[in-house]
Amino acid sequence: MITCEGLTKTFGSITAIQDFTLEIPDGCIFGLLGPNGSGKTTTMRMLSCLIQPTSGKALIDSYDIHDKTDAQKIRGMIGLLPEVPGLYETLGAYKNLDFYGQFYGVPKQKRDESIKRTLTNLGLWDRRNEPVGGFSKGMKQKIAIARALTHDPKYIFLDEPTASLDPAAAKLVREYILELKKRGNTILINTHNLSEAERICDTVALLKNKIVKVGHPKELARGLFARTISITLQKIPSSLLPEISSLRYISEAQVNGNQLILRIRNPEENNPQVITWLIQKGLQVQFVSEEEYSLEDVYLKLIEEEGQ
């Protein structure tokens, strides 16, 4: 488990992140979201023991990031994908990974097995001996992800893991991240890709130099937006809107073409009543659906509110 309490980092007069307090349970995918300069990468670097916090504390499996001895153990438990891949471009993909595996003290047989497995899963095994300097940005990104996994870390920190990847490669990486979760890894992701975070993250924290909100993407949406039901009718008479607006369980009603858009206080209980009422009016119901709010909707609303 990762436990943070009041984690703060300042650079001179600039506060990168303030009072970062939360727990990240084992075996989950946790996303840090926020605009550029919101403190995502700074937080990840502090938890990786690359920089020291100005104040506050953090424990990773009870090891303290402030303690030098503990910090060495933490670094060995973490696989990090930084913002910039930083590969040795004259070396082949295999040799890049083998070098870092040796650096972490991974025995040769285990290195060989890990490198082959990871490069195969990422679709790069056939190009393992080619110098990475000739690889595309996306391929280098995948090699950097493989490097983060060479020593079989418990915790995996990924800073924009699908940056520079085409849609097919990004899908492959997402699927691999989900597979790592199934293996019991804990994954911390910084990303601007809200659709990606929505697909794979168990929990997200929205940052703007502090924690604005934490929760599951769908739970955050339910807490921010009223539940809206769309009912498609074959025909909507002009008298319908004022009549249905008078029902006690309807908080708001609109008409858009042949769609009746309702904000209902308790859809599970009141939807059947609405449908029954419409049928009794002689109206033909074609479709009923609940409007879904995306993580992008949540993000933009919270960032806008935080800026006010």
Q: pTM of the entire structure?
A: 0.79
- Weakest mean pLDDT among 6-15, 56-65, 225-234, 290-299: 290-299
Helix (H, G, I), strand (E, B) or coil at 174: helix
Q: Is the pLDDT of residue 75 over 70?
A: yes
**Token pair listed for 50:** 């690359």
Residue 291 and residue 252: Cα distance in Å, rounded? 14
Q: Is 12 left (phi over 0), alpha (psi -120 to 50) or beta?
A: left
- The domains located in the chain, with CATH, are 2-222 (3.40.50.300), 226-292 (3.30.70.100)
What is the per-residue pLDDT for 63?
Answer: 95
Residue 264 vs residues 221, 231, 270, 277: alpha-carbon distances, Å: 16, 12, 7, 14
Task: Calculate the CA dihedral of residues 163, 203, 172, 117 and round it to 10 degrees.
Answer: 110
Q: CB atoms < 10 A from the CB of 175, how many?
A: 12
What is the per-residue pLDDT for 302?
Answer: 79
Stretch 70-86: mean pLDDT:
89
Give 248's pLDDT tier (boundaries 50, 70, 90). Answer: confident
Stretch 134-143: mean pLDDT:
87
Beta strands 29-33; 228-233: pairing state? unpaired
Q: Taking all residues of the chain, what is their mean pLDDT, rounded to a whole number?
A: 89
**Token pair listed for 263:** 């904000």
What is the per-residue pLDDT for 40?
Answer: 92
Q: Are 47 and 1 spatial neighbours (Cβ–Cβ below 8 Å)?
A: no
Most confident of 1-15, 135-149, 215-229: 1-15
pLDDT: which is higher, 229 or 54:
54
What is the per-residue pLDDT for 270?
Answer: 85
Which one, of 169, 134, 167, 168, lies nearest residue 146 by Cα?
A: 169
Stretch 284-302: mean pLDDT:
83
Helix (H, G, I), strand (E, B) or coil at 52: coil
Measured on CA atoms in the order 134, 138, 140, 146, is the torsion positive or negative?
A: negative
Which one, of 98, 167, 158, lies nearest residue 132 by Cα?
A: 98
Q: How far apart are the first and last CA of the chain?
A: 35
Residue 161 has φ and ψ, to the nearest 5°, of: -65, -25
Strand residue runs (E) in 112-154: none
Stretch 18-41: mean pLDDT:
92
Concatenated DSSP letters of 234-285? S---TTHHHHHHTSTTEEEEEEETTEEEEEES-HHHHHHHHHHHHHHTTPPE
- Weakest mean pLDDT among 62-71, 283-292, 296-305: 296-305
Q: Is the pLDDT of residue 308 over 60?
A: no
Give 307's pLDDT tier (boundaries 50, 70, 90). Answer: low
What is the per-residue pLDDT for 223?
Answer: 67
- Burial class of 102 by CB neighbour count within 10 A (0 to 12, 13 to 18, 19+): middle
Q: Is the pLDDT of residue 26 over 90?
A: yes
pLDDT in tens, 95-104: 999 999 998 8
Helices (H), 48-128: 68-77, 93-103, 108-121
What is the per-residue pLDDT for 184?
Answer: 92
Q: Is the pLDDT of residue 46 over 90?
A: yes
- Amino acid at site 13: S
